[in-house]
Amino acid sequence: MIGSSFNQLWQSTGLYGFMGMVEGFGIGNLIMILVGFVLLYLAIKKGFEPLLLVTIGFGCILSNIPMGYIAGVDPSTGDAGFIKLLFDMGIASGLFPILIFMGVGAMTDFGPLIANPKTLLLGAAAQAGIFVALLGALALSFIPGISFDLFAAGSIGIIGGADGPTAIYVTSRLAPDLLGPIAVAAYSYMALVPIIQPPIMTALTTKQERMIRMQQLRPVSKLEKILFPITVLTTCAILLPSATPLIGSLMFGNLAKECGVVNRLSDTMQNALMNIVTIFLGLSVGSKMEASHFLNLNTLGILVLGMIAFSIGTAAGVLIAKLMNKLDPKHPVNPLIGSAGVSAVPMAARVSSKVGQQSDPQNFLLMHAMGPNVAGVIGSAVAAGVLLAVIPFMAG
């Protein structure tokens, strides 16, 4: 009797699950829990995007606890864990990305882009990594053990925009089975911008180029800031309706901020709504780092392609900025702001400014870098719309 009770107690422990004695659990879960602790370390100790990595890291830990079924369904009761409910409600449905874009719009000042419209080209150039990664995903399918169709390739490619909500939205429509690794890759690279981008930026520029001081931006009127979101939405609705869910929510949030008559709504989107959705989204993304779904060749291929796409996007922005200087030497652009064309707002702009000040401490590039940075947000949403419109057509 005592032995039977002890055995039941032993079988209910996490250690029993880590040993692979329960179906669906094993040593892989322990490995992923350690990965979760690494993410927490990077967030807390190193300060790498803590809003993302704290929630993603903790979600990873929770989802890999044996027999906790926090991110899955308990086979004995049929009850879904609370993170699974969050994932189904907000990630699988594509709702959380829309709400995040609304909050981003309410927090974003498009003034630097309006004042210097040519930085839109830098945001567009940084999306080059998306289409390179798409082709790379199709090429990887020739390797035994890796299988990506056109829908999966499009979802992987969008990681290159360094825009987590956009990656989730596109993947939920094209390749829902890849939501986990793609969401993790997109948000991980967003958080690791301060590590990934500087070596690329310095390798492609000279010290003299990094010391270029740009002209002060002109003041932007309130009317311009009100007309901008309306104009962008109208243009998108006419030319690319498939991008309007993302662009529309982004521009609605921005219009609420700039019009000045719905400050309560704008404040809610910037703070309460944004914070709540960030918590739910981070935990949900982390839950997809469950060992049984994460430790495989497909996931490894996605992580590698995501890194390549992000690096190419960074490099393309820098190189286009250098080309602009060749074409218009009278109005030089510091090539470092080209790297901010990836839509990791505002981290990429801060990195551009920091690298610039390493060469010239009195060179303040932050506001100039915000132009391509916010252009990158629009660019990634437009690229998403293109993929959502073209891929089903090509596959059909």
Question: pLDDT at residue 389 above 80?
Answer: yes
Q: How far is CA 313 from CA 64, 122, 318, in A?
A: 33, 10, 9
pLDDT score at 161: 76
Task: Report the pLDDT averaged over residues 77-94.
Answer: 89
CA distance 72 to 33: 16
CA distance 379 to 294: 29
Q: How far is CA 265 from CA 97, 161, 221, 306, in A?
A: 18, 28, 22, 35
pLDDT digits (tens, 9 = 90+) for 57-83: 999 999 888 878 888 888 888 889 999
Task: Report the pLDDT averaged over residues 196-202.
Answer: 93
Task: Report the pLDDT averaged over residues 160-183.
Answer: 84
Q: Poorest-confidence range of 162-176, 222-236, 355-369?
A: 162-176
Task: Report the pLDDT averaged over residues 168-173.
Answer: 89
pLDDT score at 246: 94
Average predicted confidence (pLDDT) for the chain: 87
Task: Report the pLDDT averaged over residues 171-187.
Answer: 84
Question: pLDDT at residue 192 above 70?
Answer: yes
pLDDT score at 247: 95
Amino acid at 97: P
Predicted confidence band at 183 (pLDDT cuts at 50, 70, 90)? confident
Question: pLDDT at residue 373 above 80?
Answer: yes
Q: Poorest-confidence range of 27-36, 83-92, 298-307?
A: 298-307
Q: Poorest-confidence range of 83-92, 93-102, 283-292, 349-358?
A: 283-292
Question: pLDDT at residue 227 above 80?
Answer: yes
pLDDT digits (tens, 9 = 90+) for 296-317: 777 788 888 888 888 888 999 9
Q: What does the H/E/C string look like for the chain?
A: CHHHHHHHHHHCCHHHHHCCCCCCCCHHHHHHHHHHHHHHHHHHCCCCCHHHHHHHHHHHHHHCCCCCCCCCECCCCCCECHHHHHHHHHHCCCHHHHHHHHHHHHHCCCHHHHHCCCHHHHHHHCCHHHHHHHHHHHHHCCCCCCCCCHHHHHHHHHHHHCCHHHHHHHHHHHCHHHHHHHHHHHHHHHHCHHHHHHHHHHHHCCHHHHCCCCCCCCCCCHHHHHHHHHHHHHHHHHHCHHHHHHHHHHHHHHHHHHHCCCHHHHHHHHHHHHHHHHHHHHHHHHHCCCHHHHCCHHHHHHHHHHHHHHHHHHHHHHHHHHHHHHHCCCCCCCHHHHHHHCCCCCHHHHHHHHHHHHHCCCCCCHHHHHHHHHHHHHHHHHHHHHHHHHHHHHHC
CA distance 209 to 187: 30
Amino acid at 73: V
Predicted confidence band at 238 (pLDDT cuts at 50, 70, 90)? very high
Contact indicator for 338, 127 with CB cutoff of 8 Å: no
Residue 174, judged by CB atoms within 10 A of its CB (0-12, 13-18, 19+), counts as buried
pLDDT digits (tens, 9 = 90+) for 101-151: 999 999 999 999 999 999 899 988 888 888 888 888 888 877 777 778 889
Contact indicator for 16, 66 with CB cutoff of 8 Å: yes
Question: pLDDT at residue 3 above 80?
Answer: no
pLDDT digits (tens, 9 = 90+) for 341-352: 887 788 889 999
pLDDT digits (tens, 9 = 90+) for 315-343: 999 999 999 999 988 888 999 999 998 87
CA distance 106 to 104: 5
pLDDT score at 27: 81
CA 176 to mean position of chain CA atoms: 17
Name the most confidently modeled range: 41-50, 184-193, 362-371. 362-371
Question: pLDDT at residue 10 above 70?
Answer: no
Task: Report the pLDDT averaged over residues 212-227.
Answer: 93
Contact indicator for 318, 204 with CB cutoff of 8 Å: yes
Tokens representing 166 are: 């956009």
Sorted by where each begins, the domain ranges of the chain are: 82-206+217-395
Tokens representing 314 are: 């960074």
Name the most confidently modeled range: 182-186, 192-196, 229-233. 229-233
Tokens representing 338 are: 């080209």
